[in-house]
Structure 1
Amino acid sequence: MLPPQKLEQLARQLADNLPPGLKAGADEFEQKARTVLQSQLMKLDLVSREEFDRQTAVLAKTRAMVEQLEARLSQLEDK
């Protein structure tokens, strides 16, 4: 999930890029943009970097075990 600071930065950038005629409502737009961004990001199936790294390590360990088992099976089949 995006950290709150990043979400606020993104909402501020959207508000800063409004056309000149709409600058008066920039604060309201920024608040609504932040709310919409947050609700849409919550709908995504995201994991944290820590969880991703943990699962990557588990996968690497599992892959190594499968390779060992395949090698062992190959040796047994050769006998």
Structure 2
Amino acid sequence: MIDTKKIEQIARQVHEAMPKGIREFGEDTEKKVRQVLQAQFSRMDLVNREEFDVQTQVLLRTREKLAVLEQRLSELEGKLAAGAEKPQP
């Protein structure tokens, strides 16, 4: 879920950017903007920063393991190729 403080900050910025006549409706306008933003953000497939950072770490560990496995595979293929090159008695 997106941070409610961020939504409030965006709602305040939108409210302040509105023409003065609309802004004079006051708090109701800002509340309505906040509600619209929350509804739109909830429809999006968003993750918060913490979830993103966790998945980034998982991906880095997976890449490291993949690199190790690729190296081992390369070594095994090299040994297999070297064994195949030796003449049979």
Instruction: Compute the TM-score of the two structures, normalised by the length of structure 1.
Output: 0.84
Residues 12-35 of structure 1: per-residue CA shift (max 9 Å, x gap):
222222212223223221111000
1:19-34 matched pairs, under 5 angstroms: 19-34=19-34
Higher-Rg structure is 2
Taking only the aligned residue pairs, the percentage that are identical comes to 48
Q: Any gaps of 5 or more consecutive residues in structure 1?
A: none
Q: CA RMSD in A?
A: 1.5
Q: Any gaps of 5 or more consecutive residues in structure 2?
A: 80-89
Instruction: Compute the TM-score of the two structures, normalised by the length of structure 2.
Output: 0.76
Question: Runs (4+) of structure 1 moved beyond 2 Å?
Answer: 20-24
Look up the match of 1:8.
Answer: 8
How many residue pairs align between the two structures? 79
